[in-house]
Structure 1
Amino acid sequence: MAGEKNAGLVLLSSSMSPFGQRCSIALAEKGLTHEYVEEDLGAKSDLLLHSNPIYKQIPVLLHGGRTIIESLIIVQYLDEAFPGTRSLLPADPYERARARFWADYVDKKVYGCASRLYMVKGQPQVLPKLEMVDILKTLEGELGGKEFFGGEQGFGFVDVALMPFATWFESFDRCWGVGVAEVAPTLAAWAAQCMERESVSKSLCSPKEVYDFIDEMRKDLGIE
């Protein structure tokens, strides 16, 4: 049934984008085949610029000629547009609201804080380093004793939202001395378990690729 419904799905993304990786994980979890288009963000395609004229960013999902943008919106759209596939969001309205809150937390806190760390060196790193430690502990507290953030539902919306950033964990340690295994061991174990899922392992870059990318970016910015 999914094979009939997913005709015309095209994902415009970049292999290094954690936001695009979310969409790839969601598509794989739902068993939805699609065309993948790798975007050169230094020379964005006309298709990307036409599909997302407001932000001109990836990821973009095209479905039957219609455009959906923003990664968390794309994942929610896939849940709603393909009800015959495995749901990533909980059915209960309250639990759905909680899942959306924590996915938003990932974007505002994990990505937001990491982005600030990437842009500084020396003493200015101290406050964002302390903030990142607090963020990781907060996420570990939310995970609690559950196998996945999705709880009884299993691997779900928050797991999809956070997992691409788990490949950044090694860089947190190598660049800034924030060892996730020491700060939030349950969260580190969760990440290792998620990597065993085919949908995850085939969608993500390796931690080394992420570190090399960050290192090169910082050099280009004159930070290292």
Structure 2
Amino acid sequence: MFNGFCLLEVVYEPADKIWSTKGEVQEKAKKEYIEALKILESELGNKPYFGGDNFGFIDIAMTGYYMWFEASEKCGNFSIEPECPTLMASAKRCLQRDSVVNSVPEPEKIVEFAFKIRKIYCV
């Protein structure tokens, strides 16, 4: 929980604005997104996974968000890694697992979909 909200909601809303807006609104959304990701990174600490040395439930749940990082970066023209290097390393580790690779869409498909969302919003 973060300020009474599920942290993943705090991550999702700014991400949605990154894909669907531009200008000052998008810039504000990028800052909010990074701040939420920094909270996740602080919870991760120096562990390879949220479950410590083992890929666990929280990591599985986070994979749904990790898949969208590249799309958010491309739509918003920014990079998450300089602000959240440990979280990005964990995300890459999770997304490279065979069980994940075989279960999620290819990253390029997600980026394409994100740009379709931008088109719908006329951005």
Q: Normalising to structure 1: TM-score of the pair?
A: 0.50
1:139 Cα deviation after fit: 1.0
Residue number among 101, 105, 110 corresponding to 1:201 in the alignment = 101
1:140 Cα deviation after fit: 0.9
Which structure's relative contact order is higher, taking Cα pairs within 8 Å and 6+ residues apart? Answer: 2
State which structure, 1 or 2, has the greater radius of gyration over its C-alpha atoms. Answer: 1
The one-letter code matched in structure 2 to 1:156 is G
Identity of aligned residues (%): 35
Matched, 1:113 2:10: no
For structure 2, list consecutive stretches of 5 or more residues without a partner in the other structure.
Answer: none
1:196 Cα deviation after fit: 2.6
Do the aligned partners of 1:110 and 1:132 also contact (CA within 8 Å) in 2?
yes
Partners of 2:50 and 2:97 in 1: how far apart? Answer: 15
For structure 1, list consecutive stretches of 5 or more residues without a partner in the other structure.
Answer: 1-100
User: How has the CA–CA distance of structure 1 residues 217 and 172 changed in structure 2, closer, same or farther, with 3 Å as cutoff?
Assistant: closer
Task: Count residues with an aligned counterpart.
Answer: 120
- Map residues 122-201 of structure 1 onto 2, 5 A cutoff: 122-151=23-52, 154-201=54-101
For residue 216 of structure 1, what is the aligned residue in structure 2?
Answer: 116
Bigger helix fraction: 2
Q: Deviations over 1:124-170 (max 9, x none)?
A: 11211110111111111110011210125x21221111112112111
Q: Normalising to structure 2: TM-score of the pair?
A: 0.86
Q: Deviations over 1:63-90 (max 9, x none)?
A: xxxxxxxxxxxxxxxxxxxxxxxxxxxx
Partners of 2:77 and 2:121 in 1: how far apart? Answer: 21
Bigger strand fraction: 1
SS at match of 2:38: helix
1:178 Cα deviation after fit: 3.0
SS at match of 1:145: coil
Partners of 1:110 and 1:160 in 2: how far apart? Answer: 16
1:123 Cα deviation after fit: 1.8
Do the aligned partners of 2:94 and 2:100 also contact (CA within 8 Å) in 1?
yes
SS at match of 1:180: coil
